[in-house]
Amino acid sequence: MKRVLLTVHKFFPEHRAGTEVLTLNIAKELKARGYEVLVVTANPPDVDARRKETHESQTSSYEYEGIKVHVIEEALRLKGYRFSYEYEHPHIAEHFKQLLSDFKPDLVQIVHAQNHSAAIIDVAHEMNIPIVFYSTDFWFVCPIVQLKRPDGTVCRGPGPGALKCLDCYTPKLFPPLSEFKEALGAKYPATKKGASVLQDATMKVAYSAYIAAKLPDATKATLNRPGKLRTAANKMQAILVPTKLMHDVFVENGIDKKLIHHVPFGIRLEALTPYTEKTHSPRVRIAFIGTLFEHKGVDLLIKAFLALPPDANCELSIYGSTDQFPEYGKKLLDMARDGSVNAEKITFKGTFPQEKFGEILSNIDVLVIPSRWYENTPLVMQSALATKTPLIATDLGGMAEIIAHNKTGLLFKLNSVESLKEQLFRVVTEKGLLDGFRSNIKDERSVQVMVDDIEKIYAPFLKIPTSA
């Protein structure tokens, strides 16, 4: 029996986003094909790594839907933490080496290296274990993952000398003043010493001194990151990407194009294809499904919807937790309560279990993906298409590769409320437009077909036969 070890930055049951779903689907399909599978994940800290000082266990294990899972806990991730540990973590490297010795995988498949660092690649490489990477985002190029500048413009990478990262990423390594004050109070609680620190020191001066002391290490870590990750990426045997955009960005940033294979994502069709028929509604049902955070652009959608004529025969449903990012969630709720006629047509419907996805989509006429960043083939888009649900999305990145404008959906200009409003107005007023899109949508890829392609990549390294 061949053994495959999969790594991912977060995992079920606590974390259920697209990368986690993809990892679980691959793991279950590999197991069904006779592989022994271990998923290695991490628990992101509830309290920032810059401030947490006391920890308990370093690792843990559990089983989820028949898949064995090994967890790197906060205690190990934050041990002696330095800024460079984000991409080069010596303590995780030491642990990963022991884990590989114990599990003895025939191959390591990285789905995400964040929270582990690229040190896991170095360790597997040194132990002569083949490494295949299936990329879901731009972490290997961009430390904030999204390739988005502070002013909201999109980016293609760190640039010469990683100078673009200095004003984008480096400031994010430091807590805001409010968190610094909170952390200082926690370190020196209600004691005479604590009182003197909080009362006698000018907090802004103390904060400035903290930044000044840490800035050299933060700057060095920022500038060294691109080279370290480029070297690590080029040690792998194969890199799988779902879009042409990702291929181009990786090559532009020094990753060997001979390593890169185009392998689109696959989804669990069996839970979706029974829902290709829409339930009846007198209104056009517009919806968003996903994380309610600024880079997802839900505020753009609400503004565009509110700008439609008051007599527009439509409604907007927003699926996602307003509590996950409470400040942005409150902003969205406030926007949708402006007292207008259209505001009364907006409903926040929270989250839903994965098994309800198909049923939810059968009650949606058009799904909107208003993202402000490239998005690398969001699985929610593929799920929508599997149920013959047309899409409206930003004309950017992987989204634009999925949608054939005016054939299977509509595209709008990045960050443009007016452009999005125009597309919404079209689907509400142009009779037969959505039906035409639905008839043009082709069948989606299954998990089984995706894993067929993955096995073909595995084959030279595992010496397994493959079908043509």
Per-residue pLDDT reduced to its tens digit, 243-279: 999 999 999 999 999 999 999 999 999 999 999 999 9
pLDDT at 323: 93
Hunting for tokens 């600024």 — which residue is that? Answer: 294
Task: Provide the 8-state DSSP code for 405.
Answer: B
pLDDT at 53: 45
| Residue 418: CA count within 13 A, CB half-sphere | 0
Which of 87, 73, 102 minimizes the C-alpha distance to 11?
73
pLDDT at 48: 42
pLDDT at 49: 41
pLDDT at 192: 52
The CA distances from residue 278 to 251, 273, 305, 382, 433, in Å, are 42, 12, 22, 17, 15
Dihedral angle sign, alpha carbons of residues 283, 284, 290, 292: negative
pLDDT at 180: 80
pLDDT at 467: 57
pLDDT at 50: 40
Which of 378, 366, 380, 374 minimizes the C-alpha distance to 414?
374
pLDDT at 206: 83
pLDDT at 94: 97
Q: Are 455 and 464 in contact (CB under 8 A)?
A: yes
The CA distances from residue 103 to 2, 24, 95, 149, 315, in Å, are 11, 19, 12, 41, 52
Counting every residue written for the chain, the total comes to 468
Task: Provide the 8-state DSSP code for 280.
Answer: P
Helix (H, G, I), strand (E, B) or coil at 90: helix
Q: Which residues of the chain have pLDDT under 70?
A: 45-56, 184-202, 464-468
Q: Which domains does the chain have, with CATH numbers?
A: 3-148+225-266+447-462 (3.40.50.2000), 160-221 (no CATH), 269-440 (3.40.50.2000)
Instruction: Measure CA 285 to chain center.
Output: 26
Q: Are 313 and 282 in contact (CB under 8 A)?
A: yes
What is the Cα–Cα distance from 165 to 329, expressed in whole angstroms? 28
pLDDT at 161: 87
Q: Are 19 and 115 in contact (CB under 8 A)?
A: no
Give the burial class of 68: count Cβ atoms within 10 A of its Cβ; 0-12 exposed, 13-18 middle, 19 or more buried.
middle
At 162, list the tokens.
């990683």
At 154, list the tokens.
């999109």
- Give pTM, 2 decimals: 0.87
pLDDT at 57: 83
Which of 389, 394, 402 minimizes the C-alpha distance to 423?
394
What is the Cα–Cα distance from 360 to 170, expressed in whole angstroms? 41
What is the Cα–Cα distance from 459 to 298, expressed in whole angstroms? 42
Q: Are 436 and 404 in contact (CB under 8 A)?
A: no
pLDDT at 198: 53
